[in-house]
Structure 1
């Protein structure tokens, strides 16, 4: 099937598989003892966490007349949203064209193609904006080549955020109380989408953002990033900066070590975003005795068997998991110092507006 071919009306019964994921109590040492936190296991849903956003973005575009029945959907992805769009495309009857890059794992390439996606790969990062900019450049070429194609623009699309209302509703029903929510940040969609509804439920709820070292989202300088799934080299407008009480930058050694500890001791685990968020959630539970802490595990471990869980990969990239930081370094504001490992800041910034 070509990207411009018209699919049937879709398979809406697939939407019954969206979300409805369990929460589990995590008490594994990460890396030290802590009272425990709740983890929402989004990796157990069809299409993963970002299927919620993908379905929301396509339905919103159809309602506004921006996406015609059977028209192709074109998007840039580092992998996770791609799976969600593959799910949404099948459910709603749209062929999906994704732009990845040369660092996209072979297993993810195979998975996306198995789900019927046409996959294009950027071969080299752009001088400004890295892989994301390179992917977006190829995406714009595809939009010109494919008549009627729709670009969801996940980084700046409010429907991305709106798609996580169901996640907030599920957390509100599954937990009796919540004091601290820890969210990894990439497009900014899921943190922005859940915090509003949950604060209406629990007004004093604190939100901790988890970014990657080398990411520009919260005002740090852009650097080459090993981790995929969180962080950005652009400034997504879906990020609800005013909603965050603090931000942590986590490095690949800390995230990788946490993923492996989770897999060994809790069975449930995931990739870079899961490891980074879990590290911070365990810390938050430890330093806030009596607080109820929760986080979201965006996906499972399968995509990362050749990276996070591979000793040869760790050695090739100089990752010393045994030397991972056990607590964050405190910095007074995002421009005070470059976070090269786990760092924490209680002054949150929108880089386009300055420090508040």
Structure 2
């Protein structure tokens, strides 16, 4: 079964766009295309009839989900005076936020430099350049903090070289969290009730921002975080990561550890299998984060209480992944093809019990010692 719902097409939820943009939200400003994304019912073929989840299709935004925080962070920085008119925006990104910042630069009149790494897909690199952004590529990974820390150090160098330049710092900026209030309000308008929220976790912005607003309306909300194997966020050791857009080699302050009821780690092969199955069965899919989130949300729909309304955030669409997730040659070379996930996740009692290699669940979310320190 496929059912599509969207919020009211003629008006946007309060706070959906910065005030300067909302006044022109009938299409005279490119930011008017951000928000008000649809939800789609995803039924699980292995579950009883009627069991499934609602996917929030953030790929309907021009550049994906991170258009929302990009516009909000830049709007707030301008309001506070942290970002002067015409000053340069400089930020580290694996791709999606860069597209959002390119949009914000066009909307507010700022040059944009994004610092990324060799894992950036060529199509995203070219689109960033087409949208007017300058792309800086770091070529050496940091020995402890990986590509993310290498990118952040290059950002600091660029800021020092250009007085007045501004870094939104998506990993630690509370405006990144606040930007997702409209998304939560859209879910309430579209679904009426949300019992379970499933989110990928990278900077921690959308999981914290959406869940905090939803819990004001639904105090018993269950929040499930989805990470990738090799990510440090929830206490696993840092290792090379193939999946982009979720996971981290650093510890973003925006991650709300206390807000999660459980966490799942998913491997690249499991995400690829789920993405491709979604494409064939529902004509709605995306990249690494979408595959990981859909795998976990489907399991929750099969095994959770009957009648629970599950909302899963799909951060983007499939287009930037045409040469990775949807490329047979690439997937075969990486050993990712034809590896159907297990019917159930592996289980660990504590996040540091052992290094996870496949889909694994932990029902006790603790703050890693590095964060407590």
1:103: how far off?
A: 1.4
Q: Which moved more, 1:284-293 or 1:264-273?
A: 284-293
Whole-Å separation in 2 of the counterparts to 1:222 and 1:333 = 17
Whole-Å separation in 2 of the counterparts to 1:94 and 1:321 = 45
Q: Check conservation: 1:247, 1:344, Cα contact below 8 A.
A: yes
Q: 2:353 aligns with which of 328, 332, 336?
A: 336
Q: 2:90 aligns with which of 74, 84, 109?
A: 74
Q: Which moved more, 1:217-226 or 1:123-132?
A: 123-132
Q: 1:223 aligns with which of 239, 245, 263?
A: 239
Whole-Å separation in 2 of the counterparts to 1:219 and 1:137 = 23
Partner of 2:33: 17
Q: Which moved more, 1:193-202 or 1:226-235?
A: 193-202
Partner of 1:139: 155
Q: 1:114 aligns with which of 109, 116, 130?
A: 130
**Pairs within 5 Å for 1:1-356:** 13-29=29-45, 32-33=46-47, 35-288=51-304, 289-352=306-369
Q: Check conservation: 2:181, 2:210, Cα contact below 8 A.
A: yes
Unaligned 5+ segments in structure 2 are 1-19
Q: Check conservation: 1:218, 1:334, Cα contact below 8 A.
A: yes
1:218: how far off?
A: 0.5
Whole-Å separation in 2 of the counterparts to 1:33 and 1:223 = 34
Q: Which moved more, 1:261-270 or 1:346-355?
A: 346-355
**What's the TM-score once normalised by structure 2's chain length?**
0.89
Unaligned 5+ segments in structure 1 are 1-8
Whole-Å separation in 2 of the counterparts to 1:156 and 1:352 = 18
Partner of 2:7: none
1:354: how far off?
A: 7.9
Partner of 2:5: none
1:319: how far off?
A: 1.7
Q: Provide, for residues 219-247 of structure 1, a one-character-per-residue CA deviation record: whole Å limited to 9, x for no partner.
A: 11101000000000000000111110000
- Change in Cα spacing, 1:233 to 1:287, as seen in structure 2 (3 Å) is same
Whole-Å separation in 1 of the counterparts to 2:231 and 2:44 = 28
Partner of 2:4: none
Q: Check conservation: 2:44, 2:302, Cα contact below 8 A.
A: no
Q: Secondary structure at the match of 1:207?
A: strand
Q: Which moved more, 1:236-245 or 1:346-355?
A: 346-355
Q: Count the aligned residue pairs.
A: 345
1:61: how far off?
A: 1.0
Whole-Å separation in 2 of the counterparts to 1:319 and 1:341 = 12
Q: Check conservation: 1:19, 1:46, Cα contact below 8 A.
A: no
Q: Check conservation: 2:129, 2:135, Cα contact below 8 A.
A: yes
**What's the TM-score once normalised by structure 1's chain length?**
0.94
Whole-Å separation in 2 of the counterparts to 1:211 and 1:303 = 20
Q: Secondary structure at the match of 1:349?
A: coil
1:342: how far off?
A: 0.4
1:352: how far off?
A: 3.6
1:353: how far off?
A: 6.9
1:326: how far off?
A: 2.8
Whole-Å separation in 2 of the counterparts to 1:240 and 1:338 = 22
* Cα RMSD for the two superposed structures: 1.7
1:202: how far off?
A: 1.1
Q: Check conservation: 1:325, 1:341, Cα contact below 8 A.
A: no
Q: Provide, for residues 289-313 of structure 1, a one-character-per-residue CA deviation record: whole Å limited to 9, x for no partner.
A: 2211111110000000100011111
Q: Check conservation: 1:28, 1:261, Cα contact below 8 A.
A: no
